[in-house]
Amino acid sequence: MLRVAGDLSITAGLVVLLFCAYLLWGTGSYTARQQILLQREFVQKEKTALGPIRLGGAVAMLKIPRLGDDYRYAVVEGVDPDRLRMGPGHYPGTAMPGKIGNFVLSGHRTTYAAPFNRIDELQPGDPLVVDTREARYTYRVTDKRIVDPAEVDVIAPVPGRPGRKPAKAMITLSTCHPEYSAAQRLIVFGELDERRDRLERPE
């Protein structure tokens, strides 16, 4: 009897370990597959005129040179769990890329390819490159903050000042903090620095 209980405990421990491995590495393969589809969809859409954006569709392509030359994610529309499994998500209702207001993105820190795992390494002045169908917008990091999960002010049109009318195009990235925890959120702010109209399809 005791023997069986011991065997079961060891088995449970191994299963939990395997589950942790799955969360860290297994979930990424789903995101990788979805990203291939989204990026393909994005590049195809490029040929057509600006159409309506549907939930789950690719809104833009995000590149962060500080996190590597190959750092490139298709941003999906929506931040519900299903969307965030596909890649970084754009909060519906917040500004679109390059527009006056706050372009708010959310991404996983440790699971599902962990697109925002290393955004804590971003320094003020670092470029956040957002490619859309009509232009390439380069934002520059201005600030980083660690906030309570309930602090919705950070996604206001003027971050931290809800109700204020925006005059600038801002970007806000959010992910969980500390790593592997749900206790807080890590927020990175940026401001639009440059807009270059697109003549060709993104490379």
User: Going residue by residue from 36 to 75, which x/- string records binding to another protein, judged by CB under 8 A?
Assistant: ----------------------------------------
C-beta separation of 57 from 43 below 8 A: no
Residue 7 interacting with another protein (CB under 8 A): yes
Active site residue 176: yes
Q: Is 177 a catalytic residue?
A: no
Q: Which residue among 60, 74, 155, 188 contacts another protein (CB under 8 A)?
A: 155
Indicate whether 12 belongs to the interface with another protein (CB under 8 A).
no
CA-nearest of 174, 38, 153 to 105 is 174
Among 12, 15, 55, 167, binds another protein (CB under 8 A): 15
Q: Binding of another protein at residue 26 (CB under 8 A)?
A: yes
CB 98 within 8 A of CB 169: yes
Under 8 Å between Cβ of 76 and 41: no
Q: Which of 90, 108, 136, 177 is catalytic?
A: 108
Q: Is 90 in the site for another protein (CB under 8 A)?
A: no
Task: Name the burial class of residue 33, with classes exposed (0-12), middle (13-18) and buried (19+) by CB atoms within 10 angstroms of its CB.
Answer: exposed
CB-side neighbour CA atoms (13 Å) of 89: 22
Alpha helices (H) along the chain: 2-21, 27-45, 81-84
Query: How many other CB atoms are there within 10 angstroms of residue 10's CB atom?
Result: 10
Residues contributing to the site for another protein (CB under 8 A): 3-4, 7-8, 15, 18-19, 22-23, 26-27, 30, 79, 81-82, 84-85, 91, 106-112, 116, 147, 149-152, 154-155, 174-176, 180, 182, 185, 187
Catalytic positions = 108, 176, 185
